Structure 1
Amino acid sequence: MKKDDILNKKFDSRKEEEKVIKEYINMYSDIDDEESEELIENLDVKTIKAFEEAMEKVATEYDREKTDSEILINYIRRKNNLEEIVSMAELKLNPPEGLNKEKIDVLFQNSGDFIELENLEIIETKKDLYLYDSTLWTGQYAATAVLLKEKDILEAIAQRTRRDCKIYPRPLQISALKDIPYNYSEDEILGAIARMKLDNRYSDIGTVTASNGGVCLYSSEYMSEKYAQALCEEIEVEWKKQQ
């Protein structure tokens, strides 16, 4: 018997409705009697019908042939959800199923014509173009992802340091660089700090050390060394005492 035949049966009381629900559950599920009784008690036919209609819409949408723009944005969103930014070069080299280099070029040349691409953002560097969905990522997060993708550890650390000093304001604990999205090792961080001291582009970046040995980075563009030192002590020592 079809689901519709079961769910469209007439009933004049809650007891009769429960019989319909029980028949539906027995026919289309493999749950045990205890779970079945609990469902019967809490469900009604109207809710089941709404669920079935929703699932049918999902199945129809899944089976529908996707447009090129849908394929592209769905691919980008999947990557972004996995904490990955999409490189244009890699996209063209290994396009998702249904797309090729020529189709990708057409999509980007006419991106304004596709409503599916209205939240697509592009970051251009000297090396490549990078793509992300602005409903999933902020511009700042995407910019950081680009630096990590290009393995520009010096710029990634400098930008984060300057941003924290400007916005919060507070120096950056180097321990924060071991967390997502950076995932740098202690050696990578210390090596980068040493190289930054030899690079004029990062002459504003300095280090301060708390009494417990915790190291923080600061930018002299936004705070003095003395102020950074005091904040580093508070963050590394006083805050940790309260945890």
Structure 2
Amino acid sequence: MTEEKKNNQQQPEKASEVNKEVDERSKLVAHIREKSNKGEIVKYKELYEEPFSYQEESLKEILGEIKNNEEYDDIHILKGTKGYYLYSDQVMKGHYALILAKMEDKDNPGLIAEMVRKDSRTYPRPTDAKTFYGFPFFMSEEDLEDVLEDMKKHPDYQDINEVFASDGSRFLFSSEHMKERRAKLLAEQEAVDRVNFP
């Protein structure tokens, strides 16, 4: 077989491989975007199962291609305590994706600390402890009490403190971003003043 014929045979094979890679990439990106649109993150480990069934090396390769392609710059990877997660920032904020990752990891202390620090830093305001009883956390009072007790003993969460409004409502704040006096004042405004003077 001549060299020219060999090259001609190899070209369609290469084109077919490239098309397959593009299809795999597009399929994965579409899946991540669809899940994000539903308010969910993609667990890295689920990509080893049906319908994807990726091998570790091929998954790393595809994710590397996604990362280096501007067309997919909305796709992000989060590192949790028990694994990696993917999401699209077209429809999901990074902070919410991080909360979902901590929930997947069952990292309640990390979840509470993340929420409280963000509220104290961004708004700034203390976080009403009742926040963790509702969606998407659904902690019981007892669970929250246990987690907060554990956090008091852990060096990573020494900035997470609590204050109480005059009606007994509990609020959490981060001393890295807010002084206790301010947290108390804001907690009182939130719990008592808004109820009495809406």
Could you tell me the TM-score, scaled by structure 2's length? Answer: 0.78
Unaligned runs of 5+ in 2: 1-21
Residue by residue over 1:62-109, the C-alpha shift from the partner in whole angstroms, topping out at 9 and shown as x without a partner, is xxxx922232122222322332211111221x243xx33145344223
Instruction: Report which structure shows greater RCO (CA 8 Å, sep ≥6).
Output: 2
Alignment of 1:186-201 (within 5 A): 186-201=141-156
Partner residue of 2:35?
79
Q: In structure 2, how many angstroms separate the alpha carbons of the residues matched to 1:173 and 1:73?
A: 37
Q: In structure 2, how many angstroms separate the alpha carbons of the residues matched to 1:219 and 1:185?
A: 22
**C-alpha contact 1:69 1:114 (8 A) present in aligned 2:** no
**C-alpha contact 2:132 2:139 (8 A) present in aligned 1:** yes
**Cα-Cα RMSD:** 2.1
Secondary structure of the residue that 1:197 maps to in structure 2? helix
Answer with 1 or 2: which has the greater Rg.
Answer: 1
Structure 2 residue 194 is matched with structure 1 residue 239: yes
Partner residue of 2:77?
122
**C-alpha contact 1:69 1:116 (8 A) present in aligned 2:** no
Judged with a 3 Å threshold, the aligned counterparts in structure 2 of structure 1 residues 191 and 72 are, in CA distance, closer, same or farther, namely same
Structure 2 residue 96 is matched with structure 1 residue 141: yes
Partner residue of 2:124?
169
Structure 2 residue 86 is matched with structure 1 residue 131: yes
Judged with a 3 Å threshold, the aligned counterparts in structure 2 of structure 1 residues 200 and 193 are, in CA distance, closer, same or farther, namely same
Judged with a 3 Å threshold, the aligned counterparts in structure 2 of structure 1 residues 121 and 95 are, in CA distance, closer, same or farther, namely farther
Report the count of equivalent residues.
175
Letter in 2 for 1:75: H
Alignment of 1:4-15 (within 5 A): none
Q: In structure 1, how many angstroms separate the alpha carbons of the residues matched to 2:67 and 2:156?
A: 37
**4+ long deviations beyond 4 Å:** 112-116
**C-alpha contact 1:119 1:133 (8 A) present in aligned 2:** yes
Letter in 1 for 2:145: L
Of the three residues 211, 217, 241, the one matched with 2:166 is 211
- What's the CA shift for 1:112? 4.5
The alignment-based identity, stated in percent, is 30
- Pick which of 73-82 and 142-151 moved more: 73-82
